[in-house]
A and B are shown apart, each in its own frame.
Chain A
């Protein structure tokens, strides 16, 4: 018996396949999203509302993140940042997840996760220095276990498994959390890490931020799967799909996953469904691959205005209080920017530092060469 090729599933990239896949994708996107706050700020799950202190804390962190994102653009245009991948619109996805960690936990961020790193406590000045591509931004603070932003995709996932496993071996209750995008979930490292974490019962939380695009490639061209959280099933892990623009929801599910990991109950995959409102980086032109209209509905789901509407409606925050908060956030940023501006440029020979604990004879020799070259 032979199987007719007509009866085989079409690859997603053929026109017919793409249309079918697109419909399935849109249906999948809408289905099964865990939510606490609706886009208009109405409470969907009153039983799961955190206390007002937590609501305000998350709001403040989202405002800090958004302020950084907005200023990042301006600073880049002024030539004061070397590069910057914006994350505006994804604040709930980053802040809610990172806010579920303690200072003793590990954070493995991708290059788009400035908001998550700031939330765990990475100082703004250092973060600015990093995006200035200055070595002063490379050394992460001693009191935090946040790794420098990862440029290669998905490589941080197996590393988070290792850090988590090390914490377990040392008998702590610390966990490791790693971020990835929808495109990154196509990488082999993603799958190896989920499998390792399950097999070794590592206290890991995997965040998969599905923001719709891997540079110019939409998720529906990236994969035929329409619910990325279900990939966890293949590795024996729980997978959770959450509205990535609802900070209360992202915080709630991540806190649960962190707690599970701390209790030795193993790893979790969390897919936060969100949207990259802005370009891939400051150097990207998204008009080449997507329309303005596509993003319009997402702007209505803005994570910051969603929580803001709820806070104002319930009186947890008033206009005055918000103005004070925004002023405080702006002042904190400007102060950090002044600090970052004081960091000196690296000396040329610094490019040869920190290769090994002790430089090899070859490196010593190359340093002499470099110094002679610079002075010549």
Chain B
């Protein structure tokens, strides 16, 4: 997947001279995960450049670049490092169009690796997507396949509004597939069916898609048809696809690796409860991380992060209700 992201950035830089990529270590080093590998050599240090080590500065500067007509694409080394920049994001990035009545808009993309499963140190595995999804005026995209990552990133860069693009660290090098070689975008706001099934709907995104898909396979062998829906974008969310599936299955499991309370899974659950409660045959079950900081200790990380086993258990639970 990281190669697909690198390719999307390459295509975007080649296509639009206003695209500028910047962040910590994105230049010579090519990013801590090599997502920007080779781009500075190809496009020069004016368009792909290293910044001082300061996230508020990176996002704030990007806002200024966007105001002045460039297409800033910032990399934050880990989504858990976004917090120093939250003032810039909440106070400005999300509301600049609104507070200037569209006189200015911010076509900025902020890429950040997120999520667990690869035994990172403290603060490297956070899933802060709900904070951003709760911020008016910003879009949130979380791909789960190389082709989606490429197509969604190109769409995000073309989008006139600010987009957070979270990349599951676990998927960077673990999933491979053929991707297009030309300019192909995947539109924001359209969910994807990963599997089809009539019994249970599993709604997930990013790093949890692979986990849910394994659980669906186990359920299929037990004779339960699971429909795995990869949301792809949280903002805007494709509620139609979710509701359509729920109307068919009547049973819902929502999966994320973020903490439980106030997470985006709660938004998904509430939307289903509001719009399709008459179709539900069982209470919605959430499979999530816990309301504790993500653990850095290898041995217990797998307890925190939802596994296929936990998802399969939730599927059995909604079936047995």
Binding site for B on A (CB under 8 A): 106, 135, 138-140, 142, 145, 147-148, 151-152, 155, 157-167, 169-170, 176, 188-189, 192-193, 195-196, 199-200, 353-357, 360-362
Q: Across the interface, do B61 and A159 meet the contact criterion of CB distance under 8 Å? A: yes
Q: Across the interface, do B63 and A169 meet the contact criterion of CB distance under 8 Å? A: no
Jot down 27 A-B pairs with beta carbons below 8 A, ordered by A. A135-B101, A148-B100, A152-B92, A158-B57, A159-B60, A159-B63, A160-B64, A161-B60, A161-B61, A162-B67, A162-B72, A164-B64, A165-B65, A166-B65, A166-B69, A166-B70, A169-B20, A169-B70, A189-B56, A192-B56, A193-B61, A195-B57, A355-B136, A356-B137, A357-B160, A357-B161, A362-B239
Q: Is B248 an interface residue (CB 8 A)?
A: no
Q: Is B21 an interface residue (CB 8 A)?
A: no
Q: Is B46 an interface residue (CB 8 A)?
A: yes
Taking A162-B72, A169-B46 as known contacts, 13 extra A-B pairs with beta carbons closer than 8 A to each other, sorted by chain A number, are: A145-B68, A152-B91, A155-B60, A158-B57, A159-B63, A159-B64, A162-B61, A162-B66, A189-B88, A192-B60, A199-B51, A361-B236, A361-B240
Q: Is B102 an interface residue (CB 8 A)?
A: yes
In the complex, which residues 133-188 of chain B have their Cβ closer than 8 Å to any Cβ of chain A? Answer: 136-137, 139, 159-161
- Chain B residues with CB under 8 A of A161: 57, 60-61, 64
Q: Across the interface, do A158 and B64 meet the contact criterion of CB distance under 8 Å? A: yes
Minimum Cβ distance to chain B for residue A210 (Å): 22
Q: Across the interface, do A138 and B101 meet the contact criterion of CB distance under 8 Å? A: yes
Partner of B103, one of A142, A166, A353, A355: A142
Nearest-neighbor residue (CB-CB) of A189 within chain B: B56
Question: Bound state CA distance, A147 and B20, in angstroms?
Answer: 22
Q: Across the interface, do A193 and B57 meet the contact criterion of CB distance under 8 Å? A: yes
Minimum Cβ distance to chain A for residue B274 (Å): 11
- Chain A residues with CB under 8 A of B65: 162-163, 165-166
Minimum Cβ distance to chain B for residue A321 (Å): 38
Question: Bound state CA distance, A138 and B160, in angstroms?
Answer: 19
Q: Is B189 an interface residue (CB 8 A)?
A: yes
- Chain A residues with CB under 8 A of B212: none
- Chain A residues with CB under 8 A of B63: 158-159, 162
In the complex, which residues 51-83 of chain B have their Cβ closer than 8 Å to any Cβ of chain A? Answer: 51-52, 54, 56-57, 59-70, 72
3 nearest A-B residue pairs (beta carbon):
A162-B64, A158-B60, A166-B68
Minimum Cβ distance to chain B for residue A322 (Å): 37
Chain A interface, DSSP helix/strand/loop, else mixed: helix
Question: Bound state CA distance, A167 and B65, in angstroms?
Answer: 8
Q: Do A106 and B61 contact each other (CB < 8 Å), given the known contacts A138-B101, A354-B102, A360-B236?
A: no
Q: Is B98 an interface residue (CB 8 A)?
A: yes
- Chain A residues with CB under 8 A of B240: 361
- Chain A residues with CB under 8 A of B236: 360-362
- Chain B residues with CB under 8 A of A176: 64
Q: Is B105 an interface residue (CB 8 A)?
A: yes
Q: Do A163 and B103 contact each other (CB < 8 Å), given the known contacts A169-B70, A170-B69, A192-B54?
A: no
Q: Is B235 an interface residue (CB 8 A)?
A: yes
Query: Please, what's the 1-or-0 string for B211-251, where 1 marks a CB less than 8 Å from any CB in chain A?
Result: 00000000000000000000000011101100000000000
- Chain A residues with CB under 8 A of B62: 162
Q: Is B293 an interface residue (CB 8 A)?
A: no
Q: Do A162 and B68 contact each other (CB < 8 Å), given the known contacts A196-B61, A357-B161, A360-B235?
A: yes
Partner of B97, one of A145, A199, A355, A360: A355
Minimum Cβ distance to chain A for residue B76 (Å): 14
In the complex, which residues 82-114 of chain B have their Cβ closer than 8 Å to any Cβ of chain A? Answer: 84, 87-88, 91-92, 97-105
Question: Bound state CA distance, A159 and B91, in angstroms?
Answer: 12
Question: Bound state CA distance, A236 and B312, in angstroms?
Answer: 59
Q: Across the interface, do A195 and B88 meet the contact criterion of CB distance under 8 Å? A: no
Question: Bound state CA distance, A139 and B98, in angstroms?
Answer: 9
- Chain B residues with CB under 8 A of A189: 56-57, 60, 87-88
Minimum Cβ distance to chain A for residue B285 (Å): 24
Question: Bound state CA distance, A277 and B248, in angstroms?
Answer: 69
Q: Do A140 and B103 contact each other (CB < 8 Å), given the known contacts A158-B88, A166-B68?
A: yes
Question: Bound state CA distance, A165 and B67, in angstroms?
Answer: 11
Question: Bound state CA distance, A356 and B240, in angstroms?
Answer: 20
Question: Bound state CA distance, A349 and B56, in angstroms?
Answer: 33
Q: Across the interface, do A356 and B139 meet the contact criterion of CB distance under 8 Å? A: yes
- Chain B residues with CB under 8 A of A106: 67-68
- Chain B residues with CB under 8 A of A159: 60-61, 63-64, 67, 88, 92
Q: Across the interface, do B67 and A163 meet the contact criterion of CB distance under 8 Å? A: yes
Minimum Cβ distance to chain B for residue A206 (Å): 13
Q: Across the interface, do A138 and B99 meet the contact criterion of CB distance under 8 Å? A: yes
Q: Across the interface, do A139 and B87 meet the contact criterion of CB distance under 8 Å? A: no
Minimum Cβ distance to chain A for residue B142 (Å): 16
Minimum Cβ distance to chain B for residue A88 (Å): 26
